[in-house]
Amino acid sequence: TQLLEQSPQFLSIQEGENLTVYCNSSSVFSSLQWYRQEPGEGPVLLVTVVTGGEVKKLKRLTFQFGDARKDSSLHITAAQTGDTGLYLCAGGWSTSGTYKYIFGTGTRLKVLA
Amino acid sequence: DADVTQTPRNRITKTGKRIMLECSQTKGHDRMYWYRQDPGLGLRLIYYSFDVKDINKGEISDGYSVSRQAQAKFSLSLESAIPNQTALYFCATSERDIRKRGEQFFGPGTRLTVL
């Protein structure tokens, strides 16, 4: 069974601090996405990574896909209160001719002013 | 206007009642999904549809049914609601393009409470 474990589950930091969120699995994914979800809304896609070792930047957010495509990290530089939300990773893989997709349980981030 | 809409946004119902949640999209995507979200359990797939004639069960389909009325519409039904179906329900869409199949676009969700 494919599982995506995210750590930490909860994170509360002061504005201006840096942080890293991790997404780990024992299995290989063909692609991995990161989403952010705010209260009362659906998840919003932030980025897709597909190549082992790939690094993508979105303003103050840096996403990295592990070399073996089993894990990923999200690093936020100089966090702002607007970064508060639930961060979800999700990964897909093909098996027996079908495509499977699962979500991690999420990291809930609170950035304090 | 939102690309993926869900109705209703909130619903309180009683055990045993039949409930239908509706989803519409203007993104032109072929693929549509229904998820439920519970605290500590993340998003779990209930059903998915790759086109109007292709509907598949997800990991937690028991107690649910779906209907894909058109490319743009995908409904989720709870035939006889029970309290442990209390959750946030999300509809999502994605493109047919194999390179983009992991990129999903979500509606705003329906908060369902079963008493």
Query: pLDDT by residue (tens digit) across A24-59?
Result: 998 899 899 999 999 889 999 999 999 999 999 999
Q: A104 vs chain B: nearest CA distance in angstroms?
A: 6
Probe site for chain B from A38, A99, A107, A108 (most B CB atoms < 10 A): A99
Rounded Cα distance, B28 and B72, in Å = 7
Least confident of A9-13, A27-31, B33-37: A27-31
Nearest to A104 among B42, B90, B99 (CB): B42
Please name the member of B40, B100, B106 whose beta carbon is closest to the beta carbon of A42: B106
Cβ B40 vs Cβ A105: under 8 Å: yes
Of the ranges A56-70, A78-92, A96-110, B18-32, which one carries the lowest mean pLDDT score? A96-110
Distance from B55 to chain A by nearest Cα, in Å? 13
The whole-number pLDDT of residue B8 equals 97
Which pLDDT value is given to residue A57? 97
Query: What local confidence, expressed as pLDDT, does residue A92 receive?
Result: 86
Cα B104 to Cα A9, A20, A46, A82, B88, distances in angstroms: 23, 24, 11, 22, 17
Q: How far apart are CA B79 and CA B61, in angstroms?
A: 12
C-alpha distance from B109 to closest chain A C-alpha (Å): 6
Scanning every residue of chain A, which has its alpha carbon at the shortest distance from the alpha carbon of B58? A100
Do A40 and B40 make contact, defined as CB atoms within 8 angstroms?
no
Residues 6 or more apart in contact with residue A59 via CB below 8 angstroms? none
HEC readout, chain A: CCCCEEECCEEEEECCCCEEEEEECCCCCCEEEEEEECCCCCCEEEEEECCCCCEEEECCEEEEECCCCCEEEEEECCCCHHHCEEEEEEEEEEECCEEEEEECCCEEEEEEC
Tell me which chain A residues have a C-beta less than 8 angstroms from the C-beta of B99: 50
Instruction: Say whether B98 sits in a helix, a strand or coil.
Output: helix
When pLDDT is cut at 50, 70 and 90, the band that residue A6 belongs to is very high
pLDDT at B24 over 90: yes
Whether pLDDT at B2 is above 80: no
Q: Do B4 and A42 touch (CB under 8 A)?
A: yes
Residues 6+ apart with CB under 8 A from A1: none
- Chain A CB contacts of B90 below 8 Å: 42-43
Per-residue pLDDT, B1: 61
Give contacts of B92 with chain A, Cβ < 8 Å.
Answer: 42
Q: Cα separation of B67 and A5, whole Å?
A: 32
pLDDT tier at B104 (50, 70, 90 boundaries)? very high
Averaged pLDDT, B71-92: 96
* Residue B8 preceded by cis peptide, ω within 30: yes
Q: How confident is the model at residue B100 (pLDDT cuts 50, 70, 90)?
A: confident
A1 pLDDT above the threshold of 70? no
Which two three-digit tokens encode residue A58?
């979105």
Return d(Cα A33, Cα B103) in angstroms, integer. 7
CB pairs below 8 Å between A and B: how many? 52
SS3 B83: helix
